[in-house]
Structure 1
Amino acid sequence: MTILHISAVKSWGGGENHIENLCFELTQSNPEVINVVLCVKDQLFHQRLSKTNIITETAPLSINLDLRFALKIIRMSRKYKANIIHLHDPSAIVLAILADKFFSLPPFVFSKKTSFPIKNKKLTLYKYNYSKIKKYLCVSEETKRITAEAIVDNDKLITIYHGTNIGTKDSLTPFLLREKFGIDSSKKIIGIIGNHIRAKNFETLIETVNIIVNIQKKTDYIFIQIGSQTDRSEDLLQSVKNLNLEKNILFLGYMPNASNFIPQFDTLLLTSQSEGIPQVIYESFYHKIPVISTNVGGIPEIVQDGINGLLAPKQKPEILAQKIEYLFNNEHLISDFVAISKENLLKYYTTSIMAQKTLQEYKTILNGN
């Protein structure tokens, strides 16, 4: 069986990590499955894959409907005799449909990795209901529920949690946060990992820090954010400066293997307004670091408020500030939170489990079901 994975994403994030993990796991457990990846030339994902043994080819993508990328899909499908094309983002769907108009491609699988609703527009609905898409692999039950509103055949919808690769976890970092930034041991490090995109809603992060530092006058926390900057970054940094929070919140930008820093956090904080399920939560489960998050997307499916973490509504910085204070005023809860999370991770949320469930869906398609 040969699977051609298509990614038209130019950054590196949880979705790209999922592709890498899926290929690694299937190669190890089922060497008869050949995984080939087509990604955007000279972008972060390409750079990452070039350091692995995953079979990777690239194509330029200067516009959304770049014919060069579509033609490369056709060439790779022929070259590797692909049995299934696994599409990993909405742009990949469009490019695969375009390619299919020139050359009949094998069946598609689409991974729905976010909880964004599918827009009720004719062309968008056509794209997502394209007849070649045989399965929609949803990252959470919430993602499945939202996706079902736009998909004609709901029997094609399957929930497969991505999980994390417990065999590749490490805590090696180029520096120690406390040493590099002179952070006193009395201060708690609140870690945030994610790119500067709308879904992560770092505006709420800044508002939360403002409440804690400028309104509550608390100085025993420092917030460290790791992730790629975007066209949103300038406004975020300006907000930090306007509120005089430069010493309280640090934006480190993109860091390779950012999750290796998690053991240096006292808690992981997510302020997202939309999510599937962020990979970083699973990674925090593994490293036994407590999670404080907004209750968006599939997050409440794996983090239960007061049971193995703390949750707050989206865009409610005052409640997030309360949750942070509550956690560190009740540190005896942390041991239970992280123990339950680690146990759940090993039972339900590993990439090994994810890969086997995905493989079963591949086989179902090839068997004509």
Structure 2
Amino acid sequence: MNILHLSAVSNWGGGENHIENLCTELAITNPEINNIVFCVKNGPFHERLKQTNIKHIASALSIKIDLRFAFNIGKACKTHQIDLIHIHDTTAIQLAIIADKIYNLPPFIFSKKTSFEIKQRKKTLYKYNYPKIKKILCVSEETMRISKKAITDHNKLITIYHGTNLKNKSSKTPFKLRDKYSIKNNTIIIGNIANHIRAKHLDTWVNVANRIINEEQKTNFFFVQIGTFTERTQPLLNRVKELNLNNHMIFLGYTSNASNFIPQFDISLMTSQSEGIPQFIYESMYHKVPVVSTNVGGIPEIITHQKNGLLAPMHDDKALSELILQLVDNPKMAENFINLSHKKVTENFSTSQMAQNTIKIYKHVLNNV
């Protein structure tokens, strides 16, 4: 079975981490499956793949719909006798459809990794309902619920949780946060890993810090944010300066093996306004760091409020701040959360389980073409 994993994303994020985990797991458990990743040339994902044993092909993508990328998809399918194309982002769907018109490609599977509503526009609906897409793998039940509004054939939809890779965990980092930024031992580190995109709503992240440090006068907190900078970064930095938070907050930008820093966090804070299920939460559960998060997307499917974490409505920095302070004042609660979360993620949300569930879909599609 020859699978082409199609990514047209120009940065590194949870979606790319999912592809890497899937291919790595399948190489171990199912070596008869030949996985090839088709990605953007010289992008962060391409650079990362160069450091792995994962087979990959890179193509230039200078504009969103770059015909060279589409042509090269077709050529790769012919050269490598691809049986199935696993598409991992919406831009890649468009490019695969263009390539299919020219080369008559093998069947598609699409992974829907966010809980964004699918726009009810003719071109968008055509893309998502393209007949070559035989299955849509939803990252959460909430993602499936939202997708049903736009997908005509609900039988195409199935939920497969991504989970965390239990085989490659490490806490090795090039430096210790407390050492590098002179953070005192009694200072509480609030951590977050997310690229600077609209869905992550890092304005709320800054607002939480402002409430705790400036309004509540709790100065024994330090906020660490890790993730790729974008056009949204400078306004965030400006607000941090305006609020006099520079001594209590650092934005590290893109950092390789960012999840290795999680054990150095005292609390993981997620402020997203839209999600599938973020890898950051899975990783925090594994590393036994308590989670405070907004209750968006599929997050409530793995974090139950007051049972193994704390949840608040999106944009509600007041509620999130209060939950953080509540958790700090209740170490026994935090201990219960992390023990339950660790058990839950290791037993139910591993990338090994994700890979085996995905194989079943591959085989089902190919047996019914």
TM-score (ref. length: structure 2): 0.99
Q: Deviations over 1:115-172 (max 9, x none)?
A: 0000000000000000000000000000000011100000010000000101001000
Aligned equivalent of 2:60: 60
Return the letter of the residue paired with 2:138: C
Question: Structure 2 CA distance, aligned partners of 1:258 and 1:195?
Answer: 11
Deviations 1:162-209, CA, capped at 9 Å, x for gaps: 001010010000000000000001110000111111111000111111
Unpaired runs of 5+ residues, structure 2, are none
Whichever residue aligns with residue 296 of structure 2, its letter is V
Q: Distance in 2 between matches of 1:26 and 1:287?
A: 24
Instruction: Please report how far the alpha carbon of residue 76 of structure 1 lies from its aligned counterpart in structure 2 after TM superposition.
Output: 0.6
Matches for 1:104-253 after TM superposition, within 5 Å: 104-253=104-253
Note the C-alpha offset of 1:104. 0.5
Residue of structure 1 equivalent to 2:284: 284
How far apart, in 1, do the equivalents of 2:300 and 2:212 lie?
Answer: 25
Q: Give the count of matched residue pairs.
A: 369
Aligned residue number for residue 83 of structure 2: 83
**Is there any run of 5+ residues in structure 1 with no aligned partner, and where?**
none
Cα distance between partner residues in 2 of 1:192 and 1:286: 15
Deviation at 1:365, TM superposition (A): 0.3
Which digits, 9 at most, give the CA deviation of each residue in 1:274-301, with x for residues without a partner?
Answer: 0000011111111111111000000000
Determine helix, strand or coil for the equivalent of 1:179: helix
In 2, the alpha carbon distance for the partners of 1:113 and 1:169 equals 23
- Cross-structure match for 1:330: 330
Provide the rounded CA distance (Å) in 1 between the counterparts of 2:335 and 2:321.
Answer: 21
> What residue is the counterpart of 2:360 in the other structure?
360
**What secondary structure sits across from 1:173 in the alignment?**
coil
Matched, 1:316 2:316: yes
Root-mean-square deviation (CA, aligned residues, Å) is 0.7
- Amino acid across the alignment from 1:49: L
Structure 1 residue 63: deviation in Å? 1.2
2:14 maps to 1:14: yes
CA distance in 2, matches of 1:219, 1:191: 16
1: CA distance, partners of 2:324 / 2:280: 18
Q: Give the counterpart letter for 1:17 in structure 2.
A: N
Q: Secondary structure at the match of 1:292?
A: strand
Question: d(CA) in 2 for partners of 1:286 and 1:321?
Answer: 23
Secondary structure of 1:252's aligned partner: strand
Letter in 1 for 2:201: N
Distance in 1, Cα, partners of 2:17 & 2:93: 19
SS at match of 1:224: strand
- Aligned partners of 1:197 and 1:329: how far apart in 2? 32
Seq. identity, %: 56
Helix, strand or coil for the counterpart of 1:363? Answer: helix
2:63 & 2:228 partners in 1: Cα distance?
A: 21
Question: For 1:65 and 1:230, how far apart are their aligned partners in 2?
Answer: 21
Runs of 4+ aligned structure 1 residues displaced above 4 Å come to none
Whichever residue aligns with residue 92 of structure 1, its letter is A
Q: CA shift at 1:336, angstroms?
A: 1.1
3-state SS in 1 of match to 2:110: strand
Separation in structure 1 between the aligned mates of residue 185 and residue 64 of structure 2, nearest angstrom: 48
**3-state DSSP of counterpart to 2:71:** helix
CA distance in 1, matches of 2:125, 2:91: 14
Shift of 1:56: 0.6
Amino acid at match of 1:157: L
Match of 2:4 in 1: 4
Partner-residue secondary structure (3-state), 2:134: strand
**Map 1:13-52 → 2, pairs under 5 A:** 13-52=13-52
Residue of structure 2 in register with 1:265 after alignment:
265
- The residue identity in structure 2 corresponding to 1:291 is V
AA aligned to 1:114 is T
Q: CA deviation at 1:217?
A: 1.0
SS of the counterpart of 1:119? coil
